[in-house]
């Protein structure tokens, strides 16, 4: 019998947070090669027994790790905690001190661990049994390295541990607080790194990672304070190139001097100090590179030096100063202050000056309504502190600079109170100022109806009639104010009735309206009701609807469905002629943004009763040609429709509201500085609240969740698609060939025997409607690569992905699903995909994953026959039938994959139909012949059995 006995250390990392000994002595006895372990306390008594086996330095180390040494330190820490009392701060400091003590002990062991046999005991998570094995300790503290990742639209972080002799990903290892084990080697990390990993573990990175803005602001920006993270690939620095706004900061120097510091504001970034070509800044989780303007900064310094004879000799300092006595001499301070304001220079810092008197008076303000011209209101205004009147322009510049102080003639500093700012700031900021007159858009007051002070109630009543205010309050109840025109052939849901009335109310005060309901809530129907109501009030009036080209026929179909007595004219196509379009008279003109811009000269000759811009985010850029063209529209009543009026940032709202309510948001630079930058970059809740109050009366947004009780269980619509010229040309070419061969065959063999050829002909044309490239294997043709349906489905999926929703995409053609899948990959949109060739087990796995609560996959691509039954996909609320078929039962079964028990949201199903194609004619023929799914037998040839030769002539014409 062979015995092999060794004594070493047993390391139990899980005891770190159990307040149990995490180091003990272990005796390893190998009997016939089989190890046995005995653990003993690491105390002085047991160390003394075996001290002869180790060097004095190892014995000293063991004594410092002993239970006696630990108890002594922990008792001292606990004593300090007791003095602080039992509170969260004391508990946090106690835990921190305890953790740092234990980390220090491990750090003492690390360089000497090679001289000691070390084992670790870890609980096996699968069995619950302890696992004992040899281990090592790295000799140096490891570091963590953080790297941004992106999969599809999902951002994440990869954490790499940089050890003494190896680097590995955190996911490949096990972490026990500040100890990380990889391949049986234990790595200690710093307390800072430990805190970071704890924070990352407690942070919902998956949710934050769905938004680039949230991820940048709430994750990356926090980590960048302590770590270098390369984010250039996913978050490239934004360049700021603009003329700076000049700024002067007044402060006091050495308690003896007034100091003037020149500063330059580049798009909200304040720069000071010596010139250099670039400055870098961080804001809202993003990096910004500011290109400074050398000549502008030099000119400003030169200007400041001209303000006082002492300043030129101080130019090397970067700031300028005067003794308090010199600053007050001959009223220099007040004169310089006024000159700075007159030269449009922001003056800040008055509130920090201690050696200048503060005015004892609070502001008194006169604001008297004079008259209304169009949408503009004129006021006479006066602001006084005591007997001194402050110029209105000075007040405005003070407010726009974010200040609440002005300098009076006696060098005293006057302070505008919180109450004054709340009551009057909006008037002054949004006004055009001339001497003692303020001119503001009348709509500014609508948002203040409930907050305006009593002194202004009479003025408000003159501008916004009392009977209208009464109706405005009534509208916020369930009371019905206006009846839907009798020609409307549908019943409005309660929230749609409110939307219709809201547009009427705003029209009565000549204000535009932005209806921003969620997709599928009936913005089109509400607008049709409003335009029809306008028509009743003004029988000779005509209205115009400008929309994306893909929605022209949606609008036409909706008008015919809901208001068939209204005459519609569609102005579209390469060979369009306005006179020909309108020769028979019309009530509503529908055209695309592209056509509108090209034919603006003709359109501008008319004054329209109502003007609607659909998907109004198309005019979010004020500099774009289409936006400028839209601004030229002369219309009495204006409506903007958009489910996403703000797509990228707050500035998206500016151009749309400038069309609806000109002047409400001021000029572009004012809006950018006052609202867009503070909200988008700095996350200002105050500015966001102010903008919301200002615009709330004119933007009506209801989400599906808010009006779920009023929604139908299932809404089905047609998504019209208009083929490009190349796609349409290819379609016409193939259609002509089919016509020639098909009708010759019918003539020779009869209709019944030609059934297969008819099906094949219809199938080819349907494939071209989907994507001409599906015919690439046809030797007789050279199909184009364009597909309007793929373009539309990609746009829809991006919008759905951004909103965090899910969609099912059905197609009868597996080739079409593969084409869509390839494009979704290119766009980084996540999806699942199966068809008839996918194994049942794989299908079930995808369905299970798609249904999981935390699953963020956007789309599920399914072949119509494979997925029309037996699936529960209630996590989706949108369904797209890419190539609708005549078998309505099959389509309904597909839609019912999500419209079934367990569905918590309303389902919106869309049939994608190409305009001027066999698809449109099938829809029309079904309606004409009133073919029901029960009559179609469920077989594809059932539709053909019901077709006459006349029907075939129509389908292939």
Would you kindly state where each structural domain of the chain is located, as residue ranges? 3-137, 143-223, 238-352, 363-464, 468-710, 712-957
Give the residue-averaged pLDDT of 264-284: 89
Give the residue-averaged pLDDT of 181-194: 93
Q: Give me 606's structure tokens.
A: 């008319």
Q: Give me 159's structure tokens.
A: 């954490």
Higher pLDDT, 784 or 190: 190
Angstrom distances, CA of residue 113 to CA of 57, 58, 66: 12, 9, 15
Paired strand residues for 47 = none
Considering only the C-alpha atoms of the chain, give the largest distance between any 2 of them, rounded to a whole number of Å: 114
Is the dihedral angle over the CA atoms 480, 484, 485, 487 positive or is it negative? Answer: negative
Paired strand residues for 635 = 608
Higher pLDDT, 776 or 39: 39
Residue with tokens 């200007």: 303
Is residue 344 predicted with pLDDT exceeding 70? Answer: yes
- Average the pLDDT over each of 184-188, 702-706, 717-721 and give the range with the smallest value: 702-706
CA dihedral 557, 561, 567, 568 (to 10 degrees): -10
Q: Apex CA 59: angle with CA 56 and CA 62, to 5°?
A: 155
903-907: long-range contacts (C-beta < 8 A, 24 or more apart)?
Answer: 903/874, 903/877, 904/874, 905/704, 905/705, 905/708, 905/877, 906/520, 906/704, 906/708, 906/711, 906/712, 906/713, 906/714, 906/715, 906/877, 907/713, 907/714, 907/715, 907/877, 907/878, 907/879
Q: Give me 771's structure tokens.
A: 């994507």
Q: What's phi and psi for 124, nearest 5 deg?
A: -70, 115
Angstrom distances, CA of residue 743 to CA of 739, 740, 752: 6, 6, 12
pLDDT bracket for residue 946 (50, 70, 90) = low
Go through the chain and tell me how many residues it has.
Answer: 957
Q: What residue spans of 712-813 are helical by DSSP H? A: 725-749, 755-770, 788-802
pLDDT bracket for residue 426 (50, 70, 90) = confident
Provide the 8-state DSSP code for 431.
Answer: S
* Contact indicator for 157, 166 with CB cutoff of 8 Å: no
Q: Which CATH superfamily is domain 468-710 in?
A: Tandem AAA-ATPase domain (3.40.50.10810)
Is residue 244 predicted with pLDDT exceeding 80? Answer: yes
| 6-21 pLDDT, tens digit each | 888 999 998 888 778 8
pLDDT (0 to 100) of residue 887? 66
* 712-957 has the same fold as 468-710: yes
| 201-243 pLDDT, tens digit each | 988 888 888 877 788 888 888 898 889 888 877 778 888 888 9
CA dihedral 749, 752, 757, 761 (to 10 degrees): 120
- 285 Rama class: left (phi>0) / alpha (psi -120 to 50) / beta: left
pLDDT (0 to 100) of residue 358? 85
Residue with tokens 């005459």: 567
CA distance 476 to 450: 13
CA distance 636 to 543: 10
Residue with tokens 């004619």: 921
Query: What does pTM read for this prediction?
Result: 0.64
* Contact indicator for 701, 526 with CB cutoff of 8 Å: no
Q: Give me 937's structure tokens.
A: 């037998």
Q: What residue spans of 20-152 are helical by DSSP H? A: 44-50, 56-64, 67-84, 88-109
Question: CB within 8 A of 498, min separation 6: which ones?
Answer: 475
Give the residue-averaged pLDDT of 100-107: 91
Paired strand residues for 592 = 547
CA distance 162 to 160: 6
Q: Give me 115's structure tokens.
A: 């001289």
Q: 712-957 adopts what CATH topology? A: Rossmann fold (3.40.50)
Give the residue-averaged pLDDT of 778-801: 84
CA distance 466 to 469: 5
Of residues 260, 262, 256, the one with CA closest to residue 323 = 256
Q: Apex CA 936: angle with CA 931 and CA 939, to 5°?
A: 150
* Contact indicator for 348, 249 with CB cutoff of 8 Å: yes
Q: What percent of the chain has pLDDT over 90?
A: 33
| Three-class secondary structure of residue 314 per DSSP | helix
| 34-55 pLDDT, tens digit each | 778 888 999 899 888 888 888 8
CA distance 425 to 415: 14
Is residue 685 predicted with pLDDT exceeding 60? Answer: yes
Mean pLDDT of the chain: 85
* Contact indicator for 23, 119 with CB cutoff of 8 Å: no
Q: Give me 71's structure tokens.
A: 């108890």
CA distance 390 to 941: 86
Provide the CA 529 distance to its chain's centre, in angstroms: 31
* Contact indicator for 912, 792 with CB cutoff of 8 Å: yes
Q: What's phi and psi for 362, nearest 5 deg?
A: -90, 155
Question: CB within 8 A of 639, min separation 6: which ones?
Answer: 503, 512, 513, 514, 515, 527, 530, 610, 611, 612, 613, 660
* Contact indicator for 3, 30 with CB cutoff of 8 Å: yes
Based on the number of CB atoms within 10 Å of its own CB, is 88 exposed (0-12), middle (13-18) or buried (19 or more)? exposed
* Contact indicator for 699, 678 with CB cutoff of 8 Å: no
Question: CB within 8 A of 343, min separation 6: which ones?
Answer: 246, 303
């Amino acid at each position: 019998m062979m015995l092999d006995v060794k004594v070493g250390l047993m390391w139990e990392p899980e005891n770190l947070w159990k307040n149990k000994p995490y180091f003990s002595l272990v005796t390893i006895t190998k009997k016939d090669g089989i190890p046995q372990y005995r653990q003993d306390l690491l105390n002085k008594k047991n160390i003394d027994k075996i001290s002869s086996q180790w060097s004095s330095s190892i014995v000293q180390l063991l004594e410092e790790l002993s239970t006696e040494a630990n108890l002594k330190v922990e008792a001292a820490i606990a004593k300090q905690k007791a003095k602080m009392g039992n509170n969260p701060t004391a508990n946090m400091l106690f835990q921190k001190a305890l953790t740092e003590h234990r980390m220090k002990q491990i750090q003492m062991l690390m360089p000497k661990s090679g001289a000691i046999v070390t084992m670790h005991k870890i609980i096996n998570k699968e069995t619950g049994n302890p696992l004992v094995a040899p281990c090592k300790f790295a000799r140096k503290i490891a570091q963590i390295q953080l790297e941004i990742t992106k999969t599809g639209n999902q951002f994440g972080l990869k954490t790499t541990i940089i050890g003494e002799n190896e680097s590995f990903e955190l996911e490949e290892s096990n972490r026990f607080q500040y100890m990380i084990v990889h391949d049986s080697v234990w790595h200690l990390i710093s307390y800072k790194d430990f805190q970071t990993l704890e924070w990352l573990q407690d942070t919902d990175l998956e949710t934050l990672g769905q938004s680039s803005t949230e991820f940048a602001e709430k994750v990356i920006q926090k980590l960048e304070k302590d770590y270098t993270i390369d984010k250039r690939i996913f978050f490239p620095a934004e360049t700021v190139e603009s003329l700076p706004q000049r700024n002067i900061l007044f402060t006091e120097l050495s308690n003896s001097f007034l100091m003037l510091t020149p500063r330059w504001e580049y798009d909200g970034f304040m720069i000071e100090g010596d010139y250099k070509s670039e400055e870098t800044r961080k804001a809202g989780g993003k990096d910004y590179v500011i290109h400074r303007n050398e000549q502008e900064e030099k000119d400003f310094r030169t200007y400041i030096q001209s303000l006082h004879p002492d300043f030129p000799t101080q130019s090397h300092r970067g700031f300028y100063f005067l003794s308090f006595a010199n600053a007050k001499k001959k009223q220099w301070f007040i004169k310089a202050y006024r000159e700075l304001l007159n030269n449009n220079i922001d003056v800040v810092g008055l509130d920090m000056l201690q050696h200048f008197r503060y005015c004892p008076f609070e502001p008194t303000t006169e604001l008297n309504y004079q008259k209304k011209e169009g949408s503009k209101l004129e006021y006479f205004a006066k602001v006084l502190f005591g007997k001194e009147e402050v110029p209105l322009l000075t007040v405005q510049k003070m407010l726009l600079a974010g200040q609440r102080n002005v300098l009076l003639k006696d060098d005293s500093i006057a302070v505008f109170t919180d109450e004054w700012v709340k009551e009057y700031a909006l008037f002054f900021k949004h006004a055009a100022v001339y001497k003692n007159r303020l001119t503001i858009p009348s709509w500014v007051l609508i948002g203040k109806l409930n907050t305006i002070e009593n002194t202004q109630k009479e003025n408000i009543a003159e501008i916004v009639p009392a009977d209208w205010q009464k109706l405005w309050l009534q509208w916020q109840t369930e009371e019905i104010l206006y009846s839907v025109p009798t020609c409307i052939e549908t019943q409005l849901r309660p929230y749609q009735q409110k939307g219709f009335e809201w547009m009427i109310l705003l029209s009565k005060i000549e204000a535009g309206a932005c209806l921003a309901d969620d997709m599928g809530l009936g913005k089109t129907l509400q607008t049709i009701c409003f335009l029809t109501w306008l028509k009743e009030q003004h029988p000779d009036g005509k209205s115009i609807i400008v929309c994306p080209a893909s929605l022209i026929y949606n609008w036409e179909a909706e008008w015919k469905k809901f208001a068939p007595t209204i005459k519609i004219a569609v102005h579209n196509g390469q060979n369009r002629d306005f006179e020909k379009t309108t020769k028979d008279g019309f009530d509503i003109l529908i055209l695309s943004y592209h056509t509108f811009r090209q034919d603006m000269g003709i359109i501008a000759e008319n004054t329209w009763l109502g003007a609607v811009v659909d998907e109004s985010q198309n005019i979010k850029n004020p500099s774009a040609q289409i936006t400028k063209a839209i601004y030229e529209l002369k219309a009495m009543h204006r409506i903007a429709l958009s489910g996403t009026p703000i797509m990228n940032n707050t500035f998206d709202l500016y151009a749309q509201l400038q069309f609806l309510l000109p002047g409400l948001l001021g000029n572009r630079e004012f809006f950018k500085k006052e609202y867009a930058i503070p909200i988008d970059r700095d996350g200002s809740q105050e500015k966001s609240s102010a903008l919301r109050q200002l615009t709330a009366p004119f933007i009506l947004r209801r989400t599906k969740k808010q009006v779920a009780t009023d929604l139908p269980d299932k809404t089905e619509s047609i998504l019209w698609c208009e083929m490009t010229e190349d796609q349409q040309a290819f379609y016409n070419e193939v259609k002509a060939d089919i016509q020639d061969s098909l009708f010759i065959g019918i003539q020779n063999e009869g209709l019944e025997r030609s059934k297969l050829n008819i099906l094949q002909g219809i199938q080819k044309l349907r494939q071209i409607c989907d994507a001409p490239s599906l015919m690439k294997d046809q030797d007789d043709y050279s199909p184009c690569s364009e597909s309007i349906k793929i373009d539309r489905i990609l746009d829809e999926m991006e919008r759905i992905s951004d909103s965090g929703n899910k969609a099912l995409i059905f197609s009868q053609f597996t080739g079409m699903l593969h084409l869509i899948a390839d494009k979704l990959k290119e766009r980084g949109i996540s999806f699942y995909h199966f068809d008839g060739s996918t194994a049942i087990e794989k299908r079930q796995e995808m369905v299970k994953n798609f249904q999981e609560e935390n699953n963020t996959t956007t789309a599920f691509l399914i072949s119509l026959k494979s997925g029309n039954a037996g699936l529960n996909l209630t996590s989706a609320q949108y369904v797209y039938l890419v190539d609708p078929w005549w078998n309505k039962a099959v389509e309904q079964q597909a839609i019912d994959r999500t419209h079934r028990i367990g569905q918590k949201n309303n389902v919106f199903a869309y049939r994608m139909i190409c305009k001027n194609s066999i698809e449109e004619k099938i829809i029309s023929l079904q309606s004409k012949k009133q073919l029901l799914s029960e009559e179609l037998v469920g077989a594809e040839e059932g539709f053909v059995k019901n077709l006459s030769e006349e029907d075939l002539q129509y389908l292939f014409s």
